[in-house]
Structure 1
Amino acid sequence: MTARQGILAVRIEQDVVLARQAVRQAAVASGLRLVDQTKLVTAASELARNTVIYGGGGQMEWELLDEGLRRGVRLVFSDQGPGIVNVEQALTDGWSSGKGMGLGLSGSRRLVDTFELDTTPGVGTRVTISKWT
């Protein structure tokens, strides 16, 4: 029997790899097609990396979803880092507060079915995504 939910610490680069593995397992368990598995794992990798680099570490919560004929996976990345001052700018392709390519948040948003960003400067950031069959 597969676990229906879990929490994983995302504090160091190695945790990003563990997050990818956990998301892949959840995506397979939910019945996502291979292309959708890949999209979800890619989005999760970007968000986990952001949690480590910009949020100073945090956690990833995952949950298998079941709504009638639809099945899916919900992921929540949260940290208690500096937060995002300008969300609109942060979601713009090509903009980066660091040395990245600026595709982490905006790219992740395009790869999933739902994307919610809740952030407060000085308090932290919480990104919730989901992918459905």
Structure 2
Amino acid sequence: MPWYWPALSRRGIKVYEEKITSIIEDPAQEFDIVVRITREEDIAVARQMAKQLAQEIGFSLADVTRIATAVSELARNIYRYARQGRIMIRKRLEDRDSPGIEVIAADRGPGIPDIELVLTRGYTTWERSLGIGLSGVKRLMDSFAIHSEVGKGTVVITEKRRRAF
């Protein structure tokens, strides 16, 4: 089972797979921010850019921190396990009452053989890790989906909606 997205139908997943492939090939057309992750410093760049965009959209300080933390974890996973990939971020403004931010992390790394295990709270393969990882990203954001194939890479799609004040 390469997809973990309980709220999406098989047809919806196929459409998203095709969209993701085109986004990975040319992300600049689709996103407000694209950060190529190739060095450890890129993790901080992705985090800071996500934080700035979330502030522009008007997220609360708590949600800005959640978004920045999620982006940092996703970028760290790319750097640690795949060595390179992209963090792609865009505003979601279709719903004026609840604008949001979408984050896609994509790499062509080794893939994840057991997604359910990786999503277990506290799971880590890195001895110096806090174990926040993907399960933490899932908790911090409003929606979460992951597609991974061993030997081909991983794509994580997350979204956070701004709460009404």
Considering the TM-score relative to the shorter chain, is it more than 0.5? Answer: yes
Amino acid in the other structure paired with 2:133: G
Residues 77-107 of structure 1 show CA distances to partners (whole Å, capped at 9, x for unaligned) of 1000000000000001122122223221101
Query: In the alignment, is residue 45 of structure 1 matched against residue 72 of structure 2?
Result: yes
The runs of 5 or more residues in structure 2 that have no matched partner are 1-30
Conservation of the 8 A alpha-carbon contact between 1:51 and 1:58: yes
Query: In the alignment, is residue 88 of structure 1 matched against residue 116 of structure 2?
Result: yes
- 2-structure distance, mates of 1:72, 1:6: 14
Conservation of the 8 A alpha-carbon contact between 1:62 and 1:73: yes
In structure 1, the residue matched to 2:32 is 5
- 2-structure distance, mates of 1:91, 1:45: 17
Q: Which of the numbers 140, 143, 147 marks the counterpart of 1:114?
A: 143
- 2-structure distance, mates of 1:15, 1:124: 19
Query: Matched residue of 1:70: which SS?
Result: coil
Conservation of the 8 A alpha-carbon contact between 1:95 and 1:101: no
Conservation of the 8 A alpha-carbon contact between 2:88 and 2:105: yes
Conservation of the 8 A alpha-carbon contact between 1:30 and 1:65: no
> TM-score normalized by structure 1?
0.93
Amino acid in the other structure paired with 2:32: Q
Query: Matched residue of 2:74: which SS?
Result: helix
- In the TM superposition, structure 1's runs of 4+ consecutive aligned residues that sit over 3 Å from their partners are none
- More moved, 92-101 vs 118-127: 92-101
Query: Matched residue of 2:82: which SS?
Result: coil
What RMSD, in angstroms, separates the aligned Cα atoms of the two structures? 1.1
Number of residues of Structure 1 aligned to a counterpart in Structure 2: 130
- 2-structure distance, mates of 1:102, 1:130: 21
The structure that is helix-richer by fraction is 2
Which of structures 1 and 2 has the bigger CA Rg? 2
> TM-score normalized by structure 2?
0.76
Identical aligned residues as a percent? 35
Conservation of the 8 A alpha-carbon contact between 2:33 and 2:49: no
